[in-house]
Structure 1
Amino acid sequence: MDRLRESDYVVVDVETTGFAADRGDRIVEIALLRCRPGHGVVGRFVTLVDPQVPVRARWVHGIRADDVQRAPRFVDIAAEVRRRLEDAVIVAHNSRFDLAFLDAELSRSGSALPESPTLCTMGLTARLGLPVPGRSLRSCCEHFAIQIDREHGAEHDAQAAAQLLLRLLREALTRGWDDLEDLGCVPAVRRADAPRRSLPQPPDAAPAHRRLVTAARTLGDTWPVADADVAAYLDLLDRVLADRVVTTAEVDALAAMARRCDLEVNVVAAAHREYLGRLVAAAWDDGVLSDDELRDIAEVATLLGIAPGEAAELSSPRRPAWAS
């Protein structure tokens, strides 16, 4: 493998219309920051993108349809994006999510990801065994006192991830890690060639669980996961639940992420059980678990494929004795 010090790294962050790259969700903003150990950020490309589909997930990024009305389409910037990714390690925080969208957009534009190694800062943080409080970008950055000016803006998140990357590389070098292989770099993951024009559009969202989903927003900041593949899957699960809606497209996106992470069914099931247990524990923080919240637990359990009896069993040990 190439030497760690001698490589360039392109940090990628995308904001999207949803979470299902395979179901027609599109990029609405992209940031690419080229970094070099010892030099910091040496190149920058940031732009809004007209997704040519309704702009959804505004609760995440705050981007409106009016904001992208005069923005370039991805096909208009595909060559520039491809050029900036060349001759570098491609990096993102939960790289499987961002690169799935990049791959889909480049494929739709008649191009493809370059044959470059890829690196996940979330996975590298776990690989280094750092005592971070959670797996989110904010949580990992807090360990190094890196400030994020505004979360879920492509440029701000990419800037924070770039700073995080450089600190992680410095940490790796102090441990004598000198090759990209030591970092856990993997080849770029590509999709099978297929026409993109006929991709179905994600369905309209349907309302779901309010109280527990509010609790879900904190799990990425408070629950570190040592297994990088499981962490990548749970990061997407956080995003799916955090808007208080669940769509068929998002369920499909979770299944696709599990496949990309090569997670066995039993591993996913175990992660779902722990996830639900942590949600229940978070719901108990105010000392009350109402009938509405119990119904929400049942709905989340159904989404996660957990039987009602098992969901009740996961909930009952966390009921304070004084509340029985």
Structure 2
Amino acid sequence: MYAVIDVETTGLFNRDRIVEIAIAQLDEDGRVTASWETLVNPRRDLGPQELHGVRAADVRKAPTFDRIAGDVVELLRGRVPVAHNLAFDSRLLAHEYRRMGCEIPDLGHFGVCTMQWADHFLPEAGRSLADCCLAGGIANDRPHEAMSDVLATAELLALYLNSMGPVPLWHDRGLPPALAVWPAIPAWATPPVRRGAGAADGGEFLARLVAHLPRVPDPPQADLYLALLDRALVDRHISATEADELVALAAGLGIDRAAALALHRGYLRSLAGAALADGVLSGAERDDLARVADLLSLPPEAVAEALSGDAAPVPAGGGFRLKRGDIAVLTGAFAESKSFWAARLESAGLEVAATVTKKTSLVVAADPDSMSGKASKARQYGIPVIGADSVDAVLARMAPRSRV
């Protein structure tokens, strides 16, 4: 009978993309009979993440919209579409299909918008889903998660249905669902990807390395791996994207788990040597070494071993350290304004540019796994991409101003 739909998107405009979609099928009394949800990879920046809460680490391996388009059609076909602000969901959904060269029916012509009908059933309530749920005594514990919003909307629809006779007030309004013409698109039955699917901490990447490989890396291979490791550890965090890169590079170079651990110990020794270069080991430096050891899956005693042993060679490229005058680029929709972060970087002596070039030293993203064009180009050029919450840690390790 009904199909309740909700989409979370990168923004409000036609150019924006869907990043999560959920659909629940309901019977004529408003009871849920089936549900389906998935994240969607928009292959671009995710927009206002502080609103929808979707992480790039989760959507990296989610299907693109074309892989689920047929499934969505089958879930909606022959049913009355329902949404809270149906015009918005219908518009963003229609534009996803137009990018594929397809047209879908205008859901507003035969659907039910629980926001518009709130004026009739909940005249004292506001128009938002939160206000309507509050007025109707409906719980929505995870607002702006597509399935949570869908189930709340389904309850709202059931409340409306229970407030009128056996024939819904919208029965004779608009096109009968059976007459709506949907495009013929194959349903791939693509496995859905849900929130939380991304790596919680990229530091777990070592467990994904092959236990035994037939050859041991020679110095050039080790240097390539250490260079990528150094770039990943700029912000003392290994993102899900960086973890994937490290696993893929290790496999390509013939670096197994044991060889990687040996390289990690050498990397830690090089950091320890740099920390001891001035003859003083501060508490912050020791904490930093402990953090790196943890990220590299080394035991706590590895720090003491690194400090007591001979310093290892500095990683290929000399190790990454920002210096005054380096160029930084911002990408993504930050909780604060971009001007806030630009001022923060400029106050530290960095130059902030609008585009990524080979002269760029650092990209600061709203999400360290950002799929924006700027972040993708930075990774292509071997430029570190860090999250905004890591800025202070990176700036704290900037090279000191040289004395004239």
Determine the structure 1 residue equivalent to 2:9. Answer: 16
Q: Distance in 1 between matches of 2:88 and 2:168?
A: 26
Q: Match of 1:172, SS? A: coil
Deviations 1:176-220 (A, max 9, x none): 655523xx55789x9xxxxxxxxxxxx978949xxxxxxxxxxxx
Greater helix share, structure number:
1
Deviations 1:5-34 (A, max 9, x none): xxx11111000011112xx21000000111
Q: Distance in 2 between matches of 1:68 and 1:123?
A: 32
1:165 aligns with 2:165: no
- Whichever of the two has the greater Rg, that structure is 2
Determine the structure 2 residue equivalent to 1:68. Answer: 59
Contact 1:144–1:164 (Cα < 8 Å) also in 2: yes
Deviations 1:121-147 (A, max 9, x none): 001111x25233311101111222110
Any residues of structure 2 matched to 1:163-242 within 5 Å, and which? 163-173=155-165, 177=168, 180-181=171-172, 207=337
Amino acid at match of 1:146: I
In structure 2, runs of 5+ residues without a counterpart are 181-331, 339-404
Contact 1:15–1:154 (Cα < 8 Å) also in 2: yes
Q: Distance in 1 between matches of 2:96 and 2:136?
A: 33
Q: Match of 2:164, SS? A: helix
Q: Match of 1:173, SS? A: coil
1:59 aligns with 2:50: yes
Which sits farther off after the overlay, 106-115 or 49-58?
106-115
Q: Distance in 2 between matches of 1:169 and 1:39?
A: 7
Q: How far does residue 39 in structure 1 lie from its aligned partner after superposition? A: 6.0
Deviations 1:61-112 (A, max 9, x none): 1112111000000000000001111001111101111111111112222333
Change (3 A) 1:145 1:67: same
1:123 aligns with 2:116: yes
Determine the structure 2 residue equivalent to 1:136. Answer: 128
Q: Distance in 1 between matches of 2:96 and 2:162?
A: 33
1:146 aligns with 2:146: no
Number of aligned residue pairs? 183
- Equivalent residue in structure 2 for 1:42, among 33, 50, 67: 33
Q: Distance in 1 between matches of 2:68 and 2:99?
A: 12
Q: How far does residue 38 in structure 1 lie from its aligned partner after superposition? A: 2.9
Moved runs in structure 1, 4+ residues, more than 2 A?
Answer: 109-116, 129-133, 176-179, 184-188, 203-208
Determine the structure 2 residue equivalent to 1:96. Answer: 87
Amino acid at match of 1:167: L
Change (3 A) 1:107 1:59: same
Q: Distance in 2 between matches of 1:140 and 1:152?
A: 15
Q: Distance in 2 between matches of 1:45 and 1:111?
A: 22
Any residues of structure 2 matched to 1:248-263 within 5 Å, and which? none
Determine the structure 1 residue equivalent to 2:69. Answer: 78
Q: Match of 1:139, SS? A: helix
Deviations 1:248-298 (A, max 9, x none): xxxxxxxxxxxxxxxxxxxxxxxxxxxxxxxxxxxxxxxxxxxxxxxxxxx
Q: Distance in 2 between matches of 1:115 and 1:94?
A: 13
- Equivalent residue in structure 1 for 2:17, among 18, 26, 50: 26
What TM-score, normalized to structure 2? 0.42
Determine the structure 2 residue equivalent to 1:308. Answer: none
What TM-score, normalized to structure 1? 0.51
Amino acid at match of 1:9: Y
Contact 2:3–2:23 (Cα < 8 Å) also in 1: yes
Q: Distance in 1 between matches of 2:159 and 2:104?
A: 26
In structure 1, runs of 5+ residues without a counterpart are 1-7, 191-202, 209-324
1:105 aligns with 2:83: no
Q: Match of 1:104, SS? A: helix
